[in-house]
Amino acid sequence: MVGWFSKLIVATTVRMPKWFVRWVSRRYVAGDSLVDAVAVMKRLSSEGACFTVDVLGEEISSMDEAAFFLEEYIRVMHAIKEHGFDANISIKPTAFGLLIDPEKGMDNIRKMVSMAAEENMFVRLDMEDHRVTTSTIEVVVALHSEGLTNVGTVLQGRLFRTLSDIDSLETSLGPAADYRICKGIYLEPEDISFTGYRDIVDATNAAIDRMFAAGAYVGVASHDLPVINHTLSALEAHGMGPGVDDPRPNAGDHRHHKGPGYEFQLLLGVRGPMRRRLLAEGHRTRVYIPYGEKWYEYSIRRLQENPTIGSHVAKAFLMPWTNRP
**Does 111 share its domain with 23?**
no
d(CA 27, CA 9) in angstroms, rounded, equals 16
Examine the domain organization and report whether 244 and 155 are in the same domain. Answer: yes
305 in a domain, yes or no?
Answer: yes
Distances (CA, A) of 87 to 27, 103, 308: 20, 28, 28
Task: Evaluate whether 215 touches 248 at the Cβ level (below 8 Å).
Answer: yes
Question: Are residues 275 and 208 part of one domain?
Answer: yes
Residue 225: helix, strand or coil by DSSP?
A: helix
Give dist(CA 58, CA 237) in Å, integer.
38
pLDDT at 309: 57
Q: Is residue 325 part of a domain?
A: no
Residue 66, domain member (yes or no): yes
Residues 253 and 167 grouped into a single domain: yes
Q: CA of 151: how far to CAs of 220, 267, 281, 325, in Å?
A: 16, 20, 28, 28
* Helix 197-213 and helix 225-237, axial crossing angle in degrees, nearest 10: 20
Whether 220 and 302 map to the same domain: the answer is no
**Do 150 and 253 share a domain, yes or no?**
yes
| Whole-angstrom distance, CA of residue 132 vs CA of residue 262 | 26
Whether 207 contacts 183, CB under 8 Å: no
Task: Give yes or no: residues 156 and 235 share one domain.
Answer: yes
Number of domains in the chain: 2
Do residues 5 and 100 both lie within one domain?
A: no
> Would you give the DSSP letter of residue 31?
-
Same domain, yes or no, for 298 and 267?
no
The predicted pLDDT at position 252 comes to 82
Please check whether residue 135 lies inside any domain of the structure.
yes
Helical segments of the chain, H only = 4-13, 18-25, 34-45, 63-83, 102-118, 133-145, 162-173, 197-213, 225-237, 272-280, 295-305, 309-318
| Per-residue pLDDT, 272 | 87
The reported pLDDT for the residue numbered 232 is 98
In a domain, 51, yes or no: yes
Specify whether 4 is located in the same domain as 81.
no
pLDDT at position 293 is 77
CATH number of the domain at 99, please: 3.20.20.220
Give residue 269's pLDDT: 84
What range defines the domain where residue 93 resides? 30-291
pLDDT of 271 reads 83
Enumerate the β-bridge partners of residue 217.
178
Backbone torsions φ then ψ of 124, nearest 5 degrees = -105, 125
pLDDT in single tens digits along all 325 residues of the chain: 456 655 665 566 656 655 565 656 667 888 889 999 999 999 999 989 999 999 987 778 899 999 999 999 999 999 999 999 999 999 999 999 999 999 999 999 999 999 999 999 999 999 988 999 999 999 999 999 999 999 999 999 999 999 999 999 999 999 899 999 999 877 788 999 999 989 999 999 999 999 999 999 999 999 899 999 999 999 999 999 998 999 999 998 776 668 899 999 999 988 889 999 999 999 999 999 999 876 666 655 666 555 555 555 555 554 454 455 5
DSSP letter at 61 equals S
3-state helix, strand, coil in the chain (%, to 5): 50, 15, 35
What's residue 1's pLDDT?
43
Domain co-membership, 222 together with 88: yes
* 120, part of any domain: yes
Residues 83 and 109 in one domain: yes
Among 283, 289, 133, CA closest to 220: 283
Instruction: Kindly report, residue by residue over 235-263, the tens digit of the pLDDT.
Output: 999 999 998 999 999 998 776 668 899 99
